[in-house]
Chains A and B, each alone.
Chain A
Amino acid sequence: MNYSLNHIKELESESIFILREVAAQFENPVLMFSGGKDSILMVYLAYKAFYPAKIPFPLLHIDTGHNFPETIEYRDQLVEKFNAKLIVGSVQDAIDKKLVSEEKGFNASRNALQTVVLLDELEKGKYDAALGGARRDEEKARAKERFFSHRDEFGQWDPKNQRPELWNLFNGNHQLGEHFRIFPISNWTELDVWQYLASENVPLPSLYFSHQRDVLERDGTLLADCDYIEKRPNEKVYKETVRCRTIGDMTCTGVWKSDAKTIEDIIAEVSTTRLTERGGRTDDKRSETSMEDRKKQGYF
């Protein structure tokens, strides 16, 4: 008898274990939902982890107001499909209420404001665990992240003083007012995610598949043209056949020239590409340690 699991099933089992630990060890968890493939994967894994019961925590979406319309449409369908509870934290609301002020200029992004609204929502909801779909292969600072990542009462990360994680033992003990960020898919790579989504026949937002779109080129990255991006005089808008490799805010998510029309095409493309998926994220390019700096502040 051969008792072995393939790597995708082993990763699935590990993630389900983590999700169940969260439900057991925390009183009030929430799942941070961005609308990207990693958070879609998280919702499917959570569904499997607690089946036939409902997903025992709400989804929290921090809406920058600069989302691709396709993202919102997909989000609402998914919420309905799993009969989940959705909470939306709005960056636009925070700006309108003058709680935060907006960046100006060509590379203006609401990325930093997202952190403020996220921390505010976590505090309002008194959540003690915030589940996220970050992966260690994405970025060098994320490679050091724990599954259970402790945050102090200000929501900050202290990378040099993290709890060691051994075997299957995850210590979620915490004091009142502190919370944990929890990353059940830490060990998945971009390719693993696609292979799993393909094997599970998960429907995905149309943005991931090749389509025609108005784009402009900035610092070597293609951006989808929209009203939120202030264009420089020499920047020309033109049509291109593209897809998204990651989905974030329209102002900072690069699009990718691609003819990948199906999930199988995407897997073939991801297997041979020589560029990382965050290679198109202008938010990561601000400095060499921009992800680490933002994470310390409480960014997801």
Chain B
Amino acid sequence: MSTDQNTNSELLRFTTAGSVDDGKSTLIGRLLYDSKSIFQDQYDQIKLVSEKRGEEGVNLALLTDGLKSEREQGITIDVAYRYFATPKRKFIIADTPGHTQYTRNMVTGASTANVALVLIDARVGVVEQTRRHAIIASLLQIPHLVVCINKMDLVDYDEGIYNKIQDDFEKFAAKLDVIDVHFIPISALIGDNVVNRSGKTPWYDGPTLMYYLENVHIASDHNFIDSRFPIQTVIRPYNDDYHDFRGYAGRMAGGVLKKGDEVMLLPSGFTSKVKKILGPSGELEQTFPPESVTVLLEDDYDLGRGDMIVRSNNKPTVTQDIELMIVWFDHNLPLQEKGKYLLMHTTQQVKCIVKEIRYKLDINTLHRNQEDREIQMNDVARVVIRTTKPIFVDSYRKNRITGSIILIDEGNNNTIGAGMVI
């Protein structure tokens, strides 16, 4: 850990996907090691385990693969969260496995990420796994994509190879909905352009990976235009000091709310004004995502969990019919046309029915398959859903919080799907 970490640093969440062979664990190990975030006792322990297994050198993958079965099988099964900090930023890595059968884990890691880190082996170039990771990043609308062309040491730091891979990737990415893509030639093993600049890539004048992660502009990754405040719970102290206190607790999901703002309450459509905003450290003049606050209104309406406070002149779509891209998680049953599920959206839970499966999306090729509509675990599909009650949605492109839902099995309560509103 760094000695002078600033308490005013931003938090950046990034996701990685990949298998042992493409150097993902080595890269994470390198970031942790070079930023001095690996502790001596952790290092000693994985060194001991590596030796016990007769491995050559210290296997940094053991740092991230925490479960017994993962260590036994030498693979990442689940999402693992890792933390490190530099004087500039604090980082949370959602480290996920890269194979198709773990799409649901990749999607989970991607859902809250600011940056997606995609690794390409310089010796093999863009392959199916690269495309899959980029498609998931695009589907989940991760604001920034950084493509690390790794193992440059094994191709003699050849600029031509690097440019060819960049071209291939850009051609393919033109079909995607990615906003900001950046390329970096690295060697995770040796450390070229990871934390320290490499002397072997004089033809590359961009940032190192660490410099990129420390400086990429993330302050506008939230939506600060369309004010959305889903109510989680109502705070009523019921004591003499706060006799008539009725505060609406929630986390800002979009836009800005200011004291005195005229607001509309959904679903009723009544209007009121913001009387007071209480933050964790006292009263605030305004609030924005992702702050958790308590909002008090001028008028005494009876709002509750699932209701939403918005600006009168800027409403979300109030609807019972939504069209979505769904990622299916259930390993028991496929997604059923006419199937009934519970749907969770912001702080609302409603019942819903799948009215139509439009097509299955091949997440390796982007091909839309209208013939095969059997949606199994890890499949992605475009569907039409009707809910029993209106929900207040924005398109996922506009707002990742008010544009996302999960589906829940009514029988066993498992989370069986995740959806993004089109």
Binding site for B on A (CB under 8 A): 2-14, 16-17, 20-21, 23-24, 48-54, 136-137, 139-144, 159-160, 162-169, 171, 173-175, 186-187, 189, 191-192, 195, 199, 268, 270-276, 279, 288-289, 292-293
Contact = CB atoms under 8 A, between A and B. Distances in A.
B79 interface: yes
B400 A271 contact: no
Interface stretch (B62-70, B148-156, B195-203, B361-369): B62-70
B111 A167 contact: yes
A6 B4 CA distance: 15
Nearest to A199: B7
A24 B232 contact: yes
Contacts of B42: 276
Interface in B46-88: 49, 63-64, 66-69, 71, 77-83, 85
A186 B39 CA distance: 19
Nearest to A274: B40
Contacts of A143: 64, 66, 80-82
B312 interface: no
Given A168-B401, A174-B413, A160 B67 contact: yes
B108 A164 contact: yes
B291 interface: yes
Given A6-B9, A199-B7, A164 B105 contact: yes
B9 A168 contact: no
Nearest to B9: A7
B66 A141 contact: yes
Contact of A13 (B245, B251, B278): B251
A274 B406 CA distance: 41
A24 B234 CA distance: 9
A36 B7 CA distance: 22
B109 to A, nearest CB: 9
Nearest to B104: A164
Interface stretch (B313-321, B339-347, B350-358, B387-395): B339-347
A-B pairs, top 9 by smallest CB distance, nearest first, are: A140-B66, A7-B11, A173-B413, A166-B111, A274-B40, A16-B292, A53-B237, A7-B90, A279-B41
Name the residue among A160, A162, A168, A171 with the largest chain B CB count within 10 angstroms: A168
Contacts of B105: 164
A271 B219 contact: no
Contact of B280 (A16, A53, A175, A293): A16
Contacts of B418: 164, 166
Given A10-B290, A51-B278, A191-B5, A144 B90 contact: no
Nearest to B69: A160
A156 B79 CA distance: 20
Given A191-B5, A272-B3, A274-B39, 5 more contacts: A5-B290, A167-B400, A169-B404, A174-B413, A288-B71
B336 interface: no
A187 B12 CA distance: 12
Contacts of A165: 108, 415
A131 B238 CA distance: 24
A51 to B, nearest CB: 7
B39 A279 contact: yes
Given A166-B111, A171-B344, A292-B68, A3 B233 contact: no
Contacts of A187: 81, 83, 92
Contacts of A273: 1, 39
A81 B418 CA distance: 43
Contacts of B291: 5, 9, 13
Name the residue among B9, B11, B242, B278 with the largest chain A CB count within 10 angstroms: B11
A275 B44 CA distance: 10
Given A136-B83, A164-B329, A50 B235 contact: yes
Interface residues of B, number: 84
Nearest to B80: A143
6 contacts: A7-B90, A14-B290, A16-B280, A51-B278, A166-B111, A169-B406
A181 B77 CA distance: 21
B40 A275 contact: yes
A191 to B, nearest CB: 6
B288 interface: yes
B65 to A, nearest CB: 8
B101 interface: no
A164 B69 CA distance: 19
Name the residue among A20, A143, A164, A192 with the largest chain B CB count within 10 angstroms: A164
Given A164-B329, A169-B405, A195-B7, A288 B292 contact: no
Contacts of B386: none
A52 B280 contact: no
Contacts of A52: 235, 237, 241-242, 245
Contacts of B107: 164, 166
B273 interface: no
A267 to B, nearest CB: 9
A13 B1 contact: no
Contact of B67 (A137, A192, A292): A292
B7 A6 contact: yes
B17 interface: no
B10 interface: yes
B118 interface: no
Interface string B18-55: 00000000000000000000011110010001000000
B236 interface: yes
Contacts of A168: 251, 253, 346, 401
B3 A11 contact: no
A153 B221 CA distance: 41
A9 B405 CA distance: 26
A41 to B, nearest CB: 13
Given A12-B280, A52-B237, A169 B104 contact: no
Contacts of B251: 13, 16-17, 168
B123 interface: no
Nearest to A278: B41
